[in-house]
Amino acid sequence: MNTPWGFEDFDAHEDLHFVWNEASGLKAIIAIHSTHLGPAAGGCRFWHYADAAEGLKDALRLSRGMSYKNAMAGLPLGGGKAVIIADEKRTKTPAMLHDFGKAVDNLCGRYVTAEDVGMSVADMIEIRRQTKFVAGLPVEGSAVGGDPGPHTSLGVFLGIKAAVRRALGKDSLQGLHIALQGAGSVATGVAMHAAAEGATLSIADVDAAKAQKLADAAGGKVVGADEILGLEADVLSPCALGAIFDERSIAELKVPIVAGGPTISLPLLRTVRG
């Protein structure tokens, strides 16, 4: 992998922008991996990182993943991603979102932003006040919202079913044990779809209260966030932040199927496949 800057996840990215505004408190990174097929499209993540270098890693890794995802979907779009680095209190203000919108607008359409972890449709509406390069907005005159969570969770659920059919020869999740990492929007949708089909769920999240709430709703049980990757189950469905697989965690897997939401990097795919 080409890493002239010394960043492990740098992969010939076209542009990397560091954005800071003292007045609003905005600290963001916008990574454009590729515009070969079209504008770089990918969401904006709002997250508190213990180290800003972790935010950079997310932006580089996720933008590269979006290049592959958009290409595989046959879309005329490249890959990009942004992260807004939140403080410990997760302070988010309209002024901060407006400044982020201005930064996106300054790229003149090379990057199109959207909702990701920690961001909402309401946030996209605020960003839209400063730029037209925003996706995932509510449809005007319709009750349909811009939240991608339900669509993503349905896609993950159908992916789980396809993997189960291929690996286990089963057309239903009835009686299968799914280890679900995460309790956010996507994980919630996956859990409810799987529970409706008769699956048994073990759920873990760094927020134990969220995990318990989802477990109560889906009829599952809560396990520790440090246990979920090594749990014996039929399917492991990671639906949290991603970047969870390395040589150690892969070696500890006790499942025949891994099917979830986050993008798995190409080197790790090669490791999983042997």
Pairing relationship of beta strands 26-34 and 78-85 according to DSSP bridges: antiparallel
pLDDT band at residue 9 under the 50/70/90 scheme:
confident
* Whole-number Cα distances in Å, 33 to 11, 89, 111, 198: 8, 30, 10, 41
Which residue among 27, 81, 92, 161 is the active-site one? 81
pLDDT band at residue 10 under the 50/70/90 scheme:
confident
CATH 3.40.50.10860 residue ranges in the chain? 15-128
Query: Does residue 205 register a pLDDT over 50?
Result: yes
Catalytic-residue membership of 81: yes
Model pLDDT for residues 71-115, shown as the tens digit of each residue: 998 999 999 999 999 999 999 999 999 999 999 999 999 999 999
CATH 3.40.50.720 residue ranges in the chain? 149-273
Beta strands (DSSP E) in 142-246 are 177-181, 200-204, 221-222, 235-238
CB 43 within 8 A of CB 119: yes
Give me the mean pLDDT over the 126-149 stretch: 79
Q: Which residues contact 262 (CB under 8 A, 6 or more apart)?
A: 238, 239, 240, 241, 242, 243, 244
User: Averaging pLDDT over each range in 32-36, 48-52, 139-143, 243-247, which range is the top one?
Assistant: 32-36
Residue 3: the pLDDT is 61
Residue 271: the pLDDT is 37
| pTM of the entire predicted model | 0.76
When mean pLDDT is compared across 6-10, 27-31, 43-47, the lowest value belongs to 6-10
Pairing relationship of beta strands 200-204 and 44-47 according to DSSP bridges: unpaired
Return the CATH number of 15-128, one of 3.30.930.10, 3.40.50.10860, 3.30.160.270, 3.40.800.20. 3.40.50.10860
Query: Does residue 170 register a pLDDT over 80?
Result: yes
pLDDT band at residue 149 under the 50/70/90 scheme:
confident
Q: Which CATH class is domain 149-273?
A: alpha beta
Residue 268: the pLDDT is 39
Is the CA virtual torsion 193, 134, 101, 45 positive or negative?
positive
pLDDT band at residue 243 under the 50/70/90 scheme:
low
Q: What is d(CA 77, CA 189) in angstroms, rounded to the nearest whole number? A: 26
